[in-house]
Structure 1
């Protein structure tokens, strides 16, 4: 064959079928972008849309920015499982697109010689290949998990409308930070100046007005106070060191010092939660609550607020402002007057119609404002107040007063007592990976509500579709017939083993599992695959025991409610560099587990045992002679339970697993333990019997 100089362009290439095929797969192969880069780009797109008033587009791009790398993991697992079940799947996936290309680009007479190398039995080969042509009717939820043309605003809104109407879905997004490309994670993780709260579904949203997004600035520190993010990570570092060094305590003075440090850490975490609620989120925390089960109460709130709007002549309030007002004033009884007034000021000024503001804004008389602003919160209060007065024909002070009077009616009126005690449907929080460390569930406004976290809308939709037949009224109807447990597999938590083994034998005598021994990988996966409830009590999350058995945890399909009682069992762990975080619940959700409950950081076994046993005792039906709360536990650490105690009224059971999780936090007196306990996944309800 003649040699050619590859650096010349003198050769004229023809366009045979194989070249078209190559171009097809170079250009159209399913996209699996770099997770962190993809997330950064989606966040920037979301902010651009928000600046242009495109609320739905903003919500879509923010939804794409959440835990994108996990989507790649799910797609990869799905493809690997399909290939393992069908050895020809890798070949057959190519047949149809190649056939389409060849039919669309017939070979010319001049190129027929290219096919001379084929056998004379070409027709026979074609008939054989047609037998293996695959059915490419992939479910839509799998297509939406991929990075393809299905990921668009229209489909995003369709998904939100298809999900159970009982759910309130909220996304918390950290803004893009260019230092993510320049600094180590431990440095830029504290550089968060604000967060975006997106209401994807809400009691007061409809298809025409939702979703909506607001930006909440970080709290302002005073004096030598640490910024909130710095203080949180400082507490967690101190908590880790304190617990890690506990094994070296060998005298009374060191033990006393240990408990003093634990108390100090607890007080600091309590302060963080207080600052989150009162100073950072303030009235915006009202956006994190669930829908009222009694819809008539919601209708009364709308009527009361609308009456005030009509009476005062707020004719130019936007739909977004009204939705924010409904949510805020509904919670007047649990928010302070200062929280309400501060939030009212922002709603009335920073979330109005931008065109109306531009019509009356005059920045020439202001030293701080610029006419090139993009968001109304970039303008000073003085300019915003002047614009408000010109738009509504009364002062901002009067506007705040009008709705403060509504808040007072709800807070003080006897006719609103039912609102204060009203039950709510579940809240599902999509939390940005940069914000995941915060104990959102322990905020006073939602700590008694059923709350769960989920990685992104893609996984929420996937879990919903996989388990759709068992979801009724917004809850996955779980069973409690088959329970499996793994307790102290590393054989170095003796007292925990005695406590938890005595509990499960008392409360769940039909359950089976491994105590004081590591399970073989196949047994671990069998427990996960067959159980209705799976309990792990040991170090970490226990998923490492599945290694060596095929694809590990992801190799099974599970319907189990999983409870992982180890340190940091549902914590996002970040490897070095700009690699995305990973966690046990990621793999368990890929394996279709509807819910995973675990710990956000390091914990101590006794307090966790109290919380976990309380959670199971509240939610799992039992034939035990006494309610768990009434059982004497003076010698529990020795595995001894006292049933000869005074009979008292038993606490009511709680079959709503998310609600039971909230109540179980009260079983420990340590804030660090209680706030560490979180649920990730779908709302789950267990049977009464």
Structure 2
């Protein structure tokens, strides 16, 4: 650390001292740290690791930097429920330190004073203490949820290795911003200039035996006269809320016309946001978000295709990270435009090479220095010049070579299967700062199974809780028991008519409440004992469980296997209390209750369009004995509770037992982008398995024998 400068009133830290302070803070964090401060520290150390080329350490610290307050909530609620069920659990917590002191061969002065407070008859004390056996040995997925020594790089890599090989897990993280520790969220929420994209699990990482890897993507870059993307998103969401909120008071044709004009304008603005995200922000980096190819032959062909270019051009000094990025990029080239591909190839070749080799050949430049932290700090001329010297090739020639390879995939008949190839699930870990963006509706992800999760800790916990029911990367679900709560507050009459008529027609065996609220115990029973739970009303409905006898709210739902579909406004939105309080959402509480998946809305929506989406989703996913497929049923009088089955059927109905794919297909049921992009799934991939599946049949037999 350098001396204090009395003239500038600032302290400047040298690099080693800076890292020492960071490490000291991170190693001495309290048992339940302040969420925002903990996350900031983790982001800082992750950025330092990335600058030093420590990819695994960087990924670990980034995974620690998201949704940390939710971990504290989960641990706290688990302790509450445990103490309520076992009155001695708190006593044993207090006794354990005393037992440790008595059993220790060496004691401190403080411990010695503690022993003096106890009677001299240690044998009798020890005998009494043995009655209270302290059994607190927790499995790793519970230890990892806490803040302790188990949260380390080795356990992190072990956890990634345990996840199903079918999963592609990607984390999107906002960079460190000191204002997060000082200001309210609304004051700094648009101050994001880049996003870190961390690929945690992926086919090509396994193939190269390398990773995880992280890339920094420039964000919020705008053209002259344009509003920054973050500002535009929050602005249109505010206008969307105000427009919908005032809709019920419109009683003149001119006002109604103005309402629909505003709705159309908001919709166009959301389309523009998605377009800018995809084309100008992520560009070719969006290829890292795609799911793994189910057909391993296609994957091997992509590897061979890229390796051929590498071999032909003798690019022997490409790093493993560069190859992995190229594999992903060319695999997705059919979904990308030429400019996205060329730009991304250029960044892969010049900004993700070996920094030490670049320093060796970097020449003097007015704007560049050998003291750079990241290669993207160097100007394009220096990066190109260094690439030419390291590989003895022109970077422009190599860019053209890979662009041509991408064109061969896009135009070649032998690659036709790649465009419509089935893909395994994608699980996005989205930083709370980035959670409002509609990532799932990016064109490259629009037809893939995608879900979100709070962090690696919650993903691992849910996976371990339901591990016996995970088959081929999916939670093996049933759909026999369905429960619902429709219009419990009695003020959405047309929605009630629509959804009650749909449920009677398509889900005749389901039962629940229509036009009346359930009791707290009934609400918890629905969450605990149904395969699918549907809530249609304002918000998320979880407030109906608040006054339950167990006092635990929805977290008190036991052994939940429910796929929860909450169709109210903002039902899976992250909400923030005033000041610097951490965000929270109903899905947090449901995941704590082990609910495998929660589907809902990111912002305010209108009931008719949502009813179209929700009914389509359920008709795709839930098998039915209904005489006519829901897609073909006449709905001219649906808002009156009347559906017409006397129709001509055109085309064939294709059910979808993959719930995430059903969500993707259901978005097409509305013409409004604001409604479609609001629908997201949070949790594990879920699929209804066929009766012939051997693994599931075995699980069912074990379950039935347990009931006997």
**Normalising TM by the smaller chain, what interval?**
over 0.9
1:97 Cα offset (Å): 3.5
Match of 2:81 in 1: 81
Match of 1:354 in 2: 355
Match of 1:7 in 2: none
Match of 1:163 in 2: 163
Match of 1:649 in 2: 651
The CA deviation string for residues 589-619 of structure 1, in whole angstroms up to 9 with x for no partner, is 0010000000000000000000000000000
Flag as ranges the 4+ runs of structure 1 deviating above 3 A. Answer: 27-30, 94-97, 105-108, 111-125
Judged with a 3 Å threshold, the aligned counterparts in structure 2 of structure 1 residues 87 and 389 are, in CA distance, closer, same or farther, namely same
The CA deviation string for residues 115-166 of structure 1, in whole angstroms up to 9 with x for no partner, is 7876687544432321221222211110000000000000000000001000
The CA deviation string for residues 428-464 of structure 1, in whole angstroms up to 9 with x for no partner, is 0000000000000000001100000000000000000
The CA deviation string for residues 512-555 of structure 1, in whole angstroms up to 9 with x for no partner, is 11111111111111111111101000000001111111110111
Judged with a 3 Å threshold, the aligned counterparts in structure 2 of structure 1 residues 389 and 578 are, in CA distance, closer, same or farther, namely same
Judged with a 3 Å threshold, the aligned counterparts in structure 2 of structure 1 residues 119 and 186 are, in CA distance, closer, same or farther, namely closer
The CA deviation string for residues 209-268 of structure 1, in whole angstroms up to 9 with x for no partner, is 110000001253222111111111111011001001101101000000000000000001
Pick which of 451-460 and 99-108 moved more: 99-108
Match of 1:191 in 2: 191
Q: Is 1:219–1:279's contact at 8 Å kept on the other side of the alignment?
A: no
Match of 1:369 in 2: 368
Q: Is 2:233–2:273's contact at 8 Å kept on the other side of the alignment?
A: yes
1:334 Cα offset (Å): 1.3
The CA deviation string for residues 598-649 of structure 1, in whole angstroms up to 9 with x for no partner, is 0000000000000000000000111111111111111110111111111333
Judged with a 3 Å threshold, the aligned counterparts in structure 2 of structure 1 residues 342 and 113 are, in CA distance, closer, same or farther, namely closer
Q: Is 1:630–1:650's contact at 8 Å kept on the other side of the alignment?
A: no
Judged with a 3 Å threshold, the aligned counterparts in structure 2 of structure 1 residues 117 and 561 are, in CA distance, closer, same or farther, namely closer
Q: Following the alignment from structure 2 to structure 1, what is the Cα–Cα distance between the partners of residues 270 and 79? A: 43
Q: Is 1:195–1:217's contact at 8 Å kept on the other side of the alignment?
A: yes
1:688 Cα offset (Å): 5.3
Q: Following the alignment from structure 1 to structure 2, what is the Cα–Cα distance between the partners of residues 611 and 437? A: 20
Match of 1:450 in 2: 449
SS in 2 for 1:204: helix
Judged with a 3 Å threshold, the aligned counterparts in structure 2 of structure 1 residues 325 and 28 are, in CA distance, closer, same or farther, namely closer
The answer on 1:294 being equivalent to 2:295 is: yes
SS in 2 for 1:518: coil
Pick which of 80-89 and 562-571 moved more: 80-89
Q: Following the alignment from structure 2 to structure 1, what is the Cα–Cα distance between the partners of residues 99 and 224? A: 71
1:498 Cα offset (Å): 0.5
- Aligned with residue 665 of structure 1, among 658, 667, 685: 667
Judged with a 3 Å threshold, the aligned counterparts in structure 2 of structure 1 residues 116 and 345 are, in CA distance, closer, same or farther, namely closer
Match of 1:257 in 2: 258
Q: Following the alignment from structure 1 to structure 2, what is the Cα–Cα distance between the partners of residues 391 and 517? A: 72
Question: TM-score of the superposition, structure 1-length normalised?
Answer: 0.93
Q: Is 2:487–2:516's contact at 8 Å kept on the other side of the alignment?
A: yes
Pick which of 51-60 and 96-105 moved more: 96-105
Q: Following the alignment from structure 2 to structure 1, what is the Cα–Cα distance between the partners of residues 651 and 300? A: 37
Pick which of 92-101 and 586-595 moved more: 92-101
Match of 1:309 in 2: 310
Match of 1:487 in 2: 486
SS in 1 for 2:488: coil
Match of 1:64 in 2: 64
Q: Is 2:291–2:426's contact at 8 Å kept on the other side of the alignment?
A: yes
1:371 Cα offset (Å): 2.9
Map 1:112-151 to 2 at 5 A. Answer: 123-151=123-151
Map 1:349-428 to 2 at 5 A. Answer: 349-362=350-363, 364=364, 366-428=365-427
1:507 Cα offset (Å): 0.7
Tell me, which stretches of 5 or more residues in structure 1 are unaligned?
1-26
Q: Following the alignment from structure 1 to structure 2, what is the Cα–Cα distance between the partners of residues 188 and 107? A: 49
The CA deviation string for residues 455-479 of structure 1, in whole angstroms up to 9 with x for no partner, is 0000000000000000000000111
Match of 1:628 in 2: 630
Match of 1:5 in 2: none
Q: Following the alignment from structure 1 to structure 2, what is the Cα–Cα distance between the partners of residues 245 and 517? A: 25
What count of residue pairs does the alignment treat as equivalent? 660
Q: Is 1:293–1:422's contact at 8 Å kept on the other side of the alignment?
A: yes
Q: Following the alignment from structure 2 to structure 1, what is the Cα–Cα distance between the partners of residues 29 and 404? A: 59
Q: Is 2:481–2:531's contact at 8 Å kept on the other side of the alignment?
A: yes
Q: Following the alignment from structure 1 to structure 2, what is the Cα–Cα distance between the partners of residues 156 and 112? A: 39
Q: Following the alignment from structure 2 to structure 1, what is the Cα–Cα distance between the partners of residues 387 and 434? A: 34
Match of 1:340 in 2: 341
SS in 1 for 2:215: strand
Tell me, which stretches of 5 or more residues in structure 2 are unaligned?
1-26, 692-708
- Aligned with residue 609 of structure 2, among 607, 610, 621: 607
Match of 2:523 in 1: 524
Match of 1:548 in 2: 547
The answer on 1:440 being equivalent to 2:426 is: no
Judged with a 3 Å threshold, the aligned counterparts in structure 2 of structure 1 residues 266 and 464 are, in CA distance, closer, same or farther, namely same
Q: Following the alignment from structure 1 to structure 2, what is the Cα–Cα distance between the partners of residues 123 and 341? A: 77
Judged with a 3 Å threshold, the aligned counterparts in structure 2 of structure 1 residues 295 and 462 are, in CA distance, closer, same or farther, namely same
1:499 Cα offset (Å): 0.4
Q: Is 1:567–1:602's contact at 8 Å kept on the other side of the alignment?
A: yes
SS in 2 for 1:200: strand
Output the aligned Cα RMSD.
1.9
